[in-house]
Chain A
Amino acid sequence: MTMTFLPMLSMLIGVPVVGALIIAFVPNIHWAKKIALMTAFFELLIAIMLVFSFDRSNASFQFIEQYAWIPSLNAEFFLGVDGISILFFPMTALLMFVTIIASWSNIQHLTRLHFALLLLLESATMGVFSALDMLLFFLFWEATLPPIFFLIGLWGIGAKRSQAALKYTLFMLCGGVPLLFAIILLAVNHANQFGESMTAGLSFSFPVLLNTPMTDHLQIVILLLFVLGFAVKTPLVPFHTWLPTIAMESPTQLSALLMGLKLGAFGLLRFAFPLAPSAAGHYAWLLALFGAITLIYGALIALKQTNLRQLLAYLSISHVGFVTMGIASLTLQSIQGALFQLLNFTAIASSLMLIAGFLQQRIGSTEWVHLGGLAKVVPRLCVFFYLFSFASIGIPLTSGFPAEILLIIGVFKHQFGLGIVGLLGAIFGAAALFMLIQKTFLGEVRHSSNLQLVDLRAHELWVLCIPFIFVLFFGLWPQFLLDISQGSLTLWLNRLVDLPLTLSFTS
């Protein structure tokens, strides 16, 4: 564990907050927007710098920042990254940058508040990825909710936007309860194990808790609570019902953001499995089963959707099911694939949703009956939709391909039947996506009012080009990403596999 001189992680959390504050006091609205964009860009630069100053050979936490926060509870302001979380920073910063450009001109009222909320959301998200103190993590986790609540409620495009905002918040609050329970149980267990008094022995530090011994029964409870909490956010069936609602009601750039940020799956990978290692080894198959159900369930329902945005939501659910299967398979290939796929979807799922948003903005609907034959009218938009669809079904040369191959290999290695389910899901998912393309973009132009549509504008083109370059680059050179996370994931896996209790997981 090394200390660095520049507090990069605090900067990542702090810069957007400062940006948001400045926006509040700038009189000119155009300047406010520009400041928001510049803040996001600056944030992106810091995040990229972070990746390049990251030491790949070191598998433990780096860029540690540790200060006392609530001394009476032994809670600390404790930040750090390792190979698992490091790549989420640039991807989140990129996503936010793109989101800000995408909402540049279509936010007409309360513009200042909108951009300030986006920046606050970015700050909280960065906090979630970097927090190593469990209480701090929980704080950031819940701090993502208020900005999202207002973003959906105030700028939503559906008629039931306030209801959707409430639905989202309630779902997430319910998910938060088991998390908090788990965190408290962990801290109390630490005190009990070392036989100290309740307040003095408490510990919320993630690295300390990793090495705290725990009884098997307690591990099972902890794992269950964590999985329950993260499953809501991920989302896994049956906790997924908020996502289609959000996709329909919230502003499209925000649903792109929510689909891109895979906080739930990150939580499973980061906290749920390592903190309850022997229970995870024993009961991972249960989570894999839920992942498999989610994969097939989402893909099948996607086959029957008539609205582009809703369909994308179900496809995103299906993909996340596959990722969950990968994490729960506990092989190095599958978790590498899962992590890679999570990063991919930050770029791919959100770009697809953004394109749907561009259509919504032009036509006022993404229902199939109002679309049809759009390839003739908006060729460039159609091309980008195609490109990201290819990436999402894992066509070679895009980054979806190595990720999917790794996932499938890992899952097959874990259990044969699950691998077959994965392949089936891939077929259904492709079918749903291509039926969607067929009905949206191909064929005759069905409505004469659609003939005057404007193709992608310059800023929209940029918004799509940036993620696409990412997709292409890591499709050709996946090892760049894999090398960064290799060390930490090997360590992660060894913690789970080396335990004597977990011999039963290989088939």
Chain B
Amino acid sequence: MENFIVLIPLFPLLAAICIGSLQLFSVIEGEGSERFTARVANYAVGLSCLIALLLLCQDFWFGNNAVLTLGSWLSVDDLVIKLSFFTHGFSLKLAVIFALLLCVVTRFSVNYLHREAGFHRFFFVLSLFAFAMFMLVLSANALGTFMGWEIAGLCSYLLIGYLYNSQNATHNAMRVFITNRIGDAGFIAGLVLCYLWLGNINWLDIPVFIHQLSAQKLNLIALCFVIAAMVKSAQFPFTPWLARAMEGPTPSSAIFYGAIMIHSGVYLLFLIRPLLELTPLIAGFVAVIGLLTAFYAYFVGLAQTDIKTSLIFATSGQLGLLFLECGLGFWELATWHLCAHIIVRAYQLLTAPSLLHNIQSTSIQNAPALFATNRRFYTYATQRFWLEPITDWLIVKPVMNLASDLNYVDKQIMDPLMGSPAPTIHAISSLAQAQERNIGAHLDSTEDTFAQGSGLAGKLTQWTASILHWFEYHFILHGASDNVFHYGRRLGHIANQTELTLLKPRYLVTFIFITLLVAM
């Protein structure tokens, strides 16, 4: 019976592959096959849900083993990664809640997206997402969780950019994806450090080994995972991506950012709970970040006039509270809070459009009293505390500037330095030219030709000669008059510029970064 747990992620994956490949080869197209697609997606998620419920019942009455381990997926040297799933405890319960919600949302989307252009595409992504979430929640080793983690991020990218004709939606999708990529990097770093220092990446084995590690190493592992959780759950410096994610169709917003995916960060905190309990520093960090997010989301949420964004800032606030609870060690409370929040928020977001439809005529509420009296505060809130421009200015802009500097170096300096072949440029086009060259008259050359060298030594001599010539021409022949000052000033200016460029933050930070890397 426990072996059936494999089927929970497998069914949605098969559904996704089926819908995706059939649509790619135009077997299903347009309104006629909507019924087929909807059925495949519904049945797949439905079956997964059924199996999850059965397993839960079995666990409740008879008690399952904690983990089901199947064959190995990857083994190199002492790194052995097995397919393993939780069949017991919180993960299974969460999987059941997710499965139920996925069922509901899939059914809801059948009507909601009827006659939309991307009907099949939507259900493809939804099924893939269901696979990813089951993988994330059920996998008993960090790599399986990460697989779900990254595919879920990808699905969110695909659904935010659902209206691929809209510049705005797709740009937001890209921003969200790249932000999520930072979290993924944190997850991978945590995973790799676990393997290197603990020799193991099974979630249940981690508590067994962590007592051997120094506090510093523990802190580092915990920090990596916490960064991943922060990005996924849109905690403080990363909050803005959540508002950008509202471009997708309503069911996808509900399921990704209201109910399911956004909570995977908190779920990750649950998974690394033994680690957090040993690292008070990081736990405190989690609590502070949670508190900050809660306040931030509360104030920004007050100023929102759109139903979806205000709901999403409410979600963000609640997630902040969840982080706070986890950071302070109230795990039991966090568990209930998490489950309750998932259900309520999914309901709210799913009904948002019809709510909007019903209250179309009524005017929006007045601004809260806090804003009425303090106008500056209102500006802060509507501008969302300039969080996104600040991160842009701190990270994106320097990186792009560095990129364009490097691009310049590559095109203007590196390429000529490595030598693009001169022969074709200076090819001899006529016999007369060849004869000119033979007698040494370089009439077509722009260089000063009284010293023409060949070979390395020859070229060096030639260059030295021409530099001396330039010097002589500009400084000595023109007399020590204005020109000296003029050129002197220009040289000084260039030197100043060089120094200023080197002192720009992006270079300073790069140098510091390189130094640190070398030191490590």
A402: B residues at CB distance < 8 A: 74
Q: Which of A245, A297, A416 lies in contact with B406, CB distance below 8 A?
A: A297
Q: How far is the CA of A166 from the CA of B74 in the complex (A)?
A: 45
Q: Which residues of chain B come closer than 8 Å to A397, judged between CB atoms?
A: 147, 151
A359 to B281, CA, bound (A): 54
A442 to B169, CA, bound (A): 9
B516 lies within 8 A of A417 (CB): yes
| A34 contacts chain B at the CB level, 8 A cutoff | no
In the complex, B407 has a CB within 8 A of chain A? yes
Whether A503 is near chain B, meaning CB under 8 Å from some CB there, is no
Minimum C-beta distance from B519 to chain A (A): 8
Interface residues of A in 392-428 (CB under 8 A from B): 395-397, 401-402, 405-406, 408-409, 412-413, 415-421, 423-424, 426-428
Is A336 a contact of B164 with CB atoms below 8 Å? no
Question: Which residues of chain B from 175 to 230 have any CB-CB distance to chain A below 8 Å in the complex?
Answer: 177-178, 181-182, 185, 188-189, 192-193, 195-196
How many Å lie between the Cα of A162 and that of B407 in the bound state?
24
A241 proximal to B (CB < 8 A): yes
* Cβ-based interface call for B368 (8 A): no
Contacting pair B195 A409 (CB below 8 A)? yes
Residues of A within 8 A of B400 (CB): 303-304
Q: Report the nearest B residue to A303, measured CB to CB.
A: B403
A486 within 8 A of B: yes
Asked whether B443 is an interface residue with its Cβ less than 8 Å from the other chain, the reply is no
Find B421's partner among A166, A336, A424, A431 (CB 8 Å cutoff): A166
Inter-chain contact B188/A421, CB cutoff 8 Å? no
Kindly state the separation between the CA atoms of A418 and B518 in the bound complex, as whole angstroms: 9
* Residues from 370 to 391 in A contacting B, C-beta threshold 8 Å: 373, 375-376, 380, 383, 390
Contact of B423 (CB < 8 Å), options: A166, A421, A427, A431: A166
User: Contact between A443 and B520 (Cβ–Cβ < 8 Å)?
Assistant: no
The segment out of B84-92, B334-342, B410-418, B446-454 that lies at the interface is: B410-418
Q: Is B171 an interface residue (CB 8 A)?
A: yes
B424 contact set on A, CB distance < 8 A: 160, 162-163, 166
Interface centre among A171, A239, A417 (most CB of B within 10 A): A417
Set of chain B residues within 8 Å of A390, measured between Cβ atoms = 154
Chain A, interface SS category: helix
- Residues of A contacting B73 with CB < 8 Å? 478-479
Interface status of B402 (Cβ within 8 A of chain A): yes
Complex CA gap A416/B76 in Å reads 20
- Which of A166, A397, A426, A444 counts the most chain B CB atoms within 10 A? A397
CB pair B77–A333 under 8 Å, yes or no, is yes
Task: Please name the residue on chain A nearest to B177 by beta carbon.
Answer: A434
Q: How far is the CA of A390 from the CA of B164 in the complex (A)?
A: 18
CA distance A303 to B399 in the complex (A): 9
Closest chain-B Cβ to A374's Cβ sits at a distance in Å of: 10
B445 beta carbon closer than 8 Å to chain A? no
The one of A396, A419, A482 in contact with B192, judged by C-beta atoms closer than 8 angstroms, is A419
In the bound complex, residues from chain A placing their C-beta under 8 Å from that of B189 are: 412, 419-420, 423
B404 / chain A contacts, CB cutoff of 8 Å: 304
Does B325 reach chain A (CB closer than 8 Å)? no
Asked if B233 lies at the interface with its beta carbon under 8 angstroms from chain A, I say: no
A238 within 8 A of B: yes
A167 touches B420 (CB 8 A): yes
* Residues on the A chain within 8 Å of B358, using CB: none
Nearest A-chain residue to B146, judged by Cβ: A396
Quick check: A300 and B402 within 8 Å, CB to CB?
Answer: yes
Verify A442–B161 contact, CB threshold 8 A: yes
Give complex CA distance A238, B418 in Å: 8
In the bound complex, do residue A412 and residue B402 qualify as a contact, i.e. CB atoms below 8 Å apart?
no
Question: B419 contacts which chain A residues (CB < 8 A)?
Answer: 170
Assembly CA distance A300 to B408 (angstroms)? 12
Determine if B75 is an interface residue (Cβ-Cβ < 8 Å).
Answer: yes
Least Cβ–Cβ distance between B504 and chain A, in angstroms: 16
**Interface status of A258 (Cβ within 8 A of chain B):** no
Residues A409 and B178 in contact, CB atoms below 8 Å apart: no
CA distance A418 to B399 in the complex (A): 19
Q: Are B167 and A300 neighbours in the complex by a CB distance under 8 Å?
A: no
Contact of B185 among A417, A426, A441, A479 (CB under 8 A): A426
Let me know if B76 and A373 touch, CB within 8 A: no
| Contact between B76 and A486, CB atoms less than 8 A apart | yes
A421 and B517 CA atoms in complex are apart in Å by 8
Question: Does chain B have a CB within 8 A of A301?
Answer: yes
Given A333-B79, A427-B185: A167 touches B74 (CB 8 Å cut-off) = no
Tell me whether B141 is interfacial, beta carbon within 8 Å.
no
Q: Are A412 and B418 touching (Cβ within 8 A)? A: no
- Please report the C-alpha to C-alpha distance between residue A401 and residue B148 in the assembled complex, in whole angstroms: 12
A471 contacts chain B at the CB level, 8 A cutoff = no
Q: Are B170 and A443 in contact (CB under 8 A)?
A: yes
Q: How close is A445's CB to chain B, nearest CB, in angstroms?
A: 8
Verify if A438 is at the interface (C-beta below 8 Å from B).
yes
Distance in Å from the Cβ of B516 to the closest Cβ of chain A? 7
Cβ of B387 within 8 Å of any chain A Cβ, yes or no, is no
B179 to chain A, nearest CB (A): 10
**Most-contacted residue by chain A among B73, B74, B424 (CB, 10 A):** B74
B181 and A430 contacting across the interface, CB-CB below 8 Å: yes
List residues 138-166 of chain B with CB under 8 A from any CB of chain A: 143, 146-147, 150-151, 154, 161, 164-166
A421 to chain B minimum Cβ distance, whole angstroms, is 7
Residues of A within 8 A of B75 (CB): 479, 482
Q: How far apart are the CA atoms of A430 and B151 in the complex, in Å? A: 14
Q: Is there contact, CB below 8 Å, between B407 and A163?
A: no
Task: Identify the closest chain B residue to A396 (Cβ).
Answer: B147
The verdict on B174 contacting chain A, using a C-beta distance below 8 Å, is yes
Q: Does A332 contact B (CB under 8 A)?
A: yes
The answer to the question of B24 belonging to the interface, with a C-beta cut-off of 8 Å to chain A, is: yes
Contact of B410 among A301, A431, A434, A437 (CB under 8 A): A301
Chain A residues closer than 8 Å to B407, beta-carbon distance: 300-301, 304-305
Q: Which of A304, A396, A405, A421 has a CB less than 8 Å from the CB of B151?
A: A396
**A-chain residues with CB within 8 Å of residue B417 when the two chains form the complex:** 238
Q: Are A301 and B193 in contact (CB under 8 A)?
A: no
Pick the residue among A241, A405, A416, A479 that contacts B418 (CB under 8 A): A241
Cβ of A208 within 8 Å of any chain B Cβ, yes or no, is: no
Q: Are B192 and A408 in contact (CB under 8 A)?
A: yes
A396: chain B residues within 8 A (beta carbon): 146-147, 150-151
A438 touches B170 (CB 8 A): yes
Q: Does B72 sit within 8 A of A, measured CB to CB?
A: yes
For residues 233 through 269 of chain A, which have their beta carbon under 8 Å from a beta carbon of chain B? 237-239, 241, 245
A21 close to chain B: CB less than 8 A: no
A412 & B74 in contact (Cβ 8 Å cutoff): no
A22 proximity list for chain B (CB < 8 A) = none
Q: Does A435 make an interface contact (CB < 8 A)?
A: yes
B520 touches A163 (CB 8 A): no
Q: Which residues of B contact A482 (CB under 8 A)?
A: 74-76
Roughly how many angstroms separate A417 CA and B514 CA in the complex, as a whole number? 9
Q: Mark A144-156, 1 if CB is under 8 A from B, else 0.
A: 0000000000000
A376-B143 Cα distance, complex, nearest whole Å? 36
Pairwise interchain contact B170-A405, C-beta atoms closer than 8 A: no
Q: Select A167's contact among B196, B406, B421, beta carbons within 8 Å.
A: B421
Smallest Cβ-Cβ distance to B77: which chain A residue:
A332
A166-B421, A304-B403 as given contacts; A408 in contact with B188, CB under 8 Å? yes
Pick the 6 closest A-B CB pairs, nearest first. A417-B517, A442-B170, A396-B147, A303-B403, A417-B520, A304-B407
Would you mind naming 29 contact pairs between A and B with Cβ atoms under 8 Å apart?
Answer: A241-B414, A241-B418, A300-B403, A303-B399, A304-B403, A304-B407, A332-B76, A333-B76, A373-B165, A376-B164, A380-B24, A397-B151, A406-B79, A409-B195, A412-B192, A417-B516, A420-B517, A424-B185, A427-B181, A428-B399, A434-B174, A438-B174, A442-B165, A443-B164, A443-B170, A478-B73, A478-B74, A479-B74, A482-B75
B residues lining the A interface (CB < 8 Å): 24, 72-77, 79, 143, 146-147, 150-151, 154, 161, 164-167, 170-171, 174, 177-178, 181-182, 185, 188-189, 192-193, 195-196, 399-400, 402-404, 406-407, 410, 414-415, 417-421, 423-425, 516-520
Kindly list 9 other residue pairs between chains A and B, CB separation below 8 angstroms, not including A333-B79, A396-B146: A163-B421, A241-B418, A305-B407, A333-B76, A420-B189, A420-B517, A423-B188, A430-B177, A438-B170
